[in-house]
């Protein structure tokens, strides 16, 4: 892990106390909410700030680690609004634009690490896409101060980090396989499963996440979609997993937080941008 060298007195949030916390930086689908030329009718209430959704990404604090999942096109603003000031490891679920195009803004975190490349974990598809889009960043040190630098790593089935274990399972997403992730705090055994952008859960995904303390699931919209779970499919998956709490993400403008949230089971809710949940 890198060591903070920035002289500014910015709090790191590293207390040494065991905890797991997830912040939903963005919860919207690939077009975000509201849309460009947003429809005048038939969608969510834009008077409710919870229905304004940037593209999907999340930040986890596990013990002394700060872990980032994906970098949406709005990543810089997401970090500013949620006071994200440190990243130890970056996980790219897949190479679609709404999850990868904010990675150039990771450059600030490389500065904070003293020019040390940020470890990036993904599937081979994800790593190939990073190399294609950001060839100037694939190096152990940035070419110039202020530039990004990524240390690319193929995600193993199980990754041991200080204070936590990260398990990887492939999830179907159309022609792609997405990296599903389950984070387990080593000492307490608490688990957070993060399954975005998937059409269904595989037997292995169910095994890893069953009975978890917190599960995040893709729940695009009520109507059928070829590569994403519908709200109904996600609800069925949530009931199967039986987590203590389940949060839906990656929603379209059709989902209205207040109205549709009331229809969900007691342990299931729609997440929203800026929501932080500790377990």
CATH of the domain at 144: 3.60.15.10
Q: Given this model, what pLDDT does residue 168 score?
A: 98
Between CA 9 and CA 16 the distance in angstroms is 18
- With respect to residue 42, please indicate whether it lies within any of the assigned structural domains: yes
Q: Given this model, what pLDDT does residue 79 score?
A: 98
- With respect to residue 49, please indicate whether it lies within any of the assigned structural domains: yes
- With respect to residue 196, please indicate whether it lies within any of the assigned structural domains: yes
- With respect to residue 125, please indicate whether it lies within any of the assigned structural domains: yes
* Contact between residue 99 and residue 93 where contact means Cβ atoms under 8 Å apart: yes
- With respect to residue 3, please indicate whether it lies within any of the assigned structural domains: no
Q: Given this model, what pLDDT does residue 19 score?
A: 82
Q: Given this model, what pLDDT does residue 18 score?
A: 61
User: Consecutive sets of 10 residues in the chain, 279 residues long: mean pLDDT of each?
Assistant: 44 54 98 97 96 98 96 98 98 98 98 97 98 98 96 98 97 94 97 97 98 98 96 98 98 98 97 98
> Can you say how many angstroms the Cα of residue 85 is from the centroid of all Cα atoms in its chain?
16
In which domain, by residue range, is 240 found?
20-278
Q: Given this model, what pLDDT does residue 8 score?
A: 38
Work out the widest C-alpha separation in the chain, in whole angstroms.
Answer: 52
- With respect to residue 174, please indicate whether it lies within any of the assigned structural domains: yes
Q: How many domains does the structure of the chain reveal? A: 1
Q: Given this model, what pLDDT does residue 4 score?
A: 47
Count of residues in the chain: 279
Q: Given this model, what pLDDT does residue 106 score?
A: 98
> Can you say how many angstroms the Cα of residue 24 is from the centroid of all Cα atoms in its chain?
7
- Order the strands of the 176-185 sheet from edge to edge: 158-161, 164-173, 176-185, 191-195, 214-218, 246-249, 268-270
Between CA 174 and CA 192 the distance in angstroms is 24
pTM here is: 0.93
Work out whether strand 57-62 and strand 65-69 pair parallel, antiparallel, or are unpaired.
antiparallel
- With respect to residue 2, please indicate whether it lies within any of the assigned structural domains: no
* Contact between residue 133 and residue 102 where contact means Cβ atoms under 8 Å apart: no
- With respect to residue 240, please indicate whether it lies within any of the assigned structural domains: yes
């Amino acid at each position: 892990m890198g060591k903070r060298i920035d002289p500014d007195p910015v709090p790191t949030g590293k207390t040494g106390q065991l905890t797991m916390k997830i912040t939903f930086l963005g919860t919207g689908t690939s077009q975000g909410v509201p849309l460009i030329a947003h429809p005048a009718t038939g969608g969510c209430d834009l008077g409710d700030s919870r229905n304004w959704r940037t593209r999907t990404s999340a930040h986890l604090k596990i013990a002394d680690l700060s872990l980032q999942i994906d970098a949406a096109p709005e990543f810089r603003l997401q970090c500013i609004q949620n006071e994200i000031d440190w990243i130890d490891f970056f996980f790219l679920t897949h190479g679609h634009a709404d999850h990868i195009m904010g990675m150039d803004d990771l450059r600030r975190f490389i500065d904070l690490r003293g020019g040390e490349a940020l470890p990036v974990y993904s599937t081979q598809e994800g790593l190939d896409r990073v190399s294609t889009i950001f060839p100037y960043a694939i190096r152990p040190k940035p070419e110039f101060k202020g530039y990004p630098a990524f240390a690319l790593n193929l995600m193993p089935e199980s990754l041991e980090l200080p204070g936590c274990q990260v398990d990887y399972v492939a999830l179907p997403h159309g022609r792609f396989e997405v990296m599903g992730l389950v984070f387990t705090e080593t000492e307490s055994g608490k688990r957070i499963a993060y399954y975005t952008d998937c059409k269904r859960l595989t037997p292995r995904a169910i095994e890893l996440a069953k009975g978890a303390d917190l599960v995040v699931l893709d729940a695009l919209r009520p109507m059928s979609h070829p590569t994403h779970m519908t709200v109904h499919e996600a609800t069925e998956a949530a009931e199967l997993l039986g987590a203590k709490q389940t949060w839906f993400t990656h929603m379209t403008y059709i989902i209205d937080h207040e109205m549709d949230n009331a229809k969900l089971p007691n342990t299931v809710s729609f997440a929203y941008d800026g929501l932080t949940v500790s377990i």
